Structure 1
Amino acid sequence: MLTGLALFVQHPGKTKIYWPHLGWVLFMFLFLIYFWWWEYRLHTVPVIDFGVYLFVIVYCCIFFFLCVLLFPTTMEDYSGYEHYFMSRRAWFFGFLALAYAVDLVDTAVKGRAYFASFGLEYPLRNAAYILMCIMAAITPNRRFHALFLIAGLGYQVIWIFRAFDLLD
């Protein structure tokens, strides 16, 4: 993802930028930051067996695919990032929905008390993101995509600050 962003600096003006695409790049950057913070909580799991280890590896692979989907290896087949992003939206939002579903399992692995500490908002939040991702995968409506990005990114920032006691 960082390599993709660096291309904008290395070759300014070469490819048309699409602001919602950049918004999802920012969204994924934040998601990765708090993913690794959450994974730090694995130290509370008494025994990390191969199953948990494999689960975390698969979860990381989902994030890898999400980041790769944001920046193709070549833009030759596309008129810009809007064309690219909209043509690959089903893949991106499908993997993002999967990440939110897997996130529920990941949090449960850390224990019932840990899962419960986030209250009912946490599973409802993930369910809402999954539903919105499914809708985003299906619809090419640019207004929907812009609103989902703005609302999703705004909520993501608020969630991070609240979930990790940054507002205290």
Structure 2
Amino acid sequence: MNPPLPSPEIFQHVRIIMGMVVGLSVTRLLNGLVRIIQHPGQTRIYPVHIGWVLTLLLMLVHFWWWEFWLVTLPSWTFETYLFLIVYAIVLFFLSAFLFPDSINDYTGYEDFFISRRRWFFSFLALSVVFDLVDTLIKGPAHYAMFSVEYWFRVPVYLVLCGVAIVSASRRFHVAFVSLGLLYEISWILRHFETLT
């Protein structure tokens, strides 16, 4: 039997694999944005769609930053490793739902986004659940820094995702992405500005 590896060495290995998946997600979003800039008349843009692209880019950058806390895990299991890889894959799916290979079957990004919203918001809700488990994995000290706001944040996001799945209301979707992006920026500045 091989001697166990120190936790920081395992973390570096896991971080590389997660980084590959997160890198694919960021690449997909950036390629989609560049395609819109390069061919502005090819497909009609939709501000809500662009808002979620920006929100997801921020979430991906944030994900990569907050996962550094995993370096403090005293021990690793395959289940923890698999969970983190699947979490990164969920984020990749969100990126792919925002920029598919082709939207030729749709009149533009609004038509595409509204007709495929069930998939997008189902995976967004799943990412909220994954975030909760990820926070608990990092231990009580990590969780304690969020106080009661975290237990407010999780169910509110889940409810809003549920409404977004069933509602095609343009006003609701504008409000959700606007408030979601502002809240995400606020959350990062208040809780994750430094790793100390």
Structures share fold, TM-score greater than 0.5:
yes
**115-124 vs 22-31, which moves further:** 115-124
The equivalent of 1:45 in structure 2 is 73
In the alignment, the residues of structure 1 paired with residue 31 and residue 179 of structure 2 have an alpha-carbon distance, to the nearest angstrom, of 26
Task: Answer yes or no: is 1:75 the counterpart of 2:103.
Answer: yes
Task: Answer yes or no: is 1:163 the counterpart of 2:163.
Answer: no
Task: Answer yes or no: is 1:153 the counterpart of 2:176.
Answer: no
Asked if 1 retains the 8 angstrom alpha-carbon contact of 2:66 and 2:192, the reply is: no
The equivalent of 2:51 in structure 1 is 23
Q: CA deviation at 1:9?
A: 2.2
In the alignment, the residues of structure 2 paired with residue 3 and residue 165 of structure 1 have an alpha-carbon distance, to the nearest angstrom, of 28
The residue matched to 1:15 in structure 2 has which SS? coil
The equivalent of 2:33 in structure 1 is 5
Given candidates 112, 115, 121, the residue that maps to 2:149 is 121
Given candidates 118, 135, 138, the residue that maps to 2:163 is 135
In the alignment, the residues of structure 2 paired with residue 123 and residue 25 of structure 1 have an alpha-carbon distance, to the nearest angstrom, of 26
In the alignment, the residues of structure 2 paired with residue 81 and residue 165 of structure 1 have an alpha-carbon distance, to the nearest angstrom, of 33
The equivalent of 2:118 in structure 1 is 90
Instruction: Give the 5 Å matches for 1:45-64.
Output: 45-64=73-92
- Unaligned 5+ runs, structure 2: 1-28
In the alignment, the residues of structure 2 paired with residue 149 and residue 55 of structure 1 have an alpha-carbon distance, to the nearest angstrom, of 27
The sequence identity of aligned pairs, in percent, is: 49
In the alignment, the residues of structure 1 paired with residue 179 and residue 37 of structure 2 have an alpha-carbon distance, to the nearest angstrom, of 28
In the alignment, the residues of structure 1 paired with residue 63 and residue 180 of structure 2 have an alpha-carbon distance, to the nearest angstrom, of 16
In the alignment, the residues of structure 2 paired with residue 7 and residue 122 of structure 1 have an alpha-carbon distance, to the nearest angstrom, of 37
Given candidates 117, 122, 131, the residue that maps to 1:103 is 131
In angstroms, what is the RMSD of aligned CA positions?
1.0
Asked if 2 retains the 8 angstrom alpha-carbon contact of 1:104 and 1:123, the reply is: no
Provide runs of 4+ in structure 1 moved above 4 Å: none
Asked if 2 retains the 8 angstrom alpha-carbon contact of 1:21 and 1:81, the reply is: yes
In the alignment, the residues of structure 2 paired with residue 17 and residue 103 of structure 1 have an alpha-carbon distance, to the nearest angstrom, of 30
Q: CA deviation at 1:123?
A: 2.3
Q: Which amino acid aligns with 2:166?
A: I
In the alignment, the residues of structure 1 paired with residue 72 and residue 168 of structure 2 have an alpha-carbon distance, to the nearest angstrom, of 43
The residue matched to 2:147 in structure 1 has which SS? coil
Length, aligned pairs only? 166
In the alignment, the residues of structure 2 paired with residue 129 and residue 138 of structure 1 have an alpha-carbon distance, to the nearest angstrom, of 15
TM-score, normalization: structure 2?
0.82
- Structure (1 or 2) with the larger CA radius of gyration: 2
**75-84 vs 112-121, which moves further:** 112-121
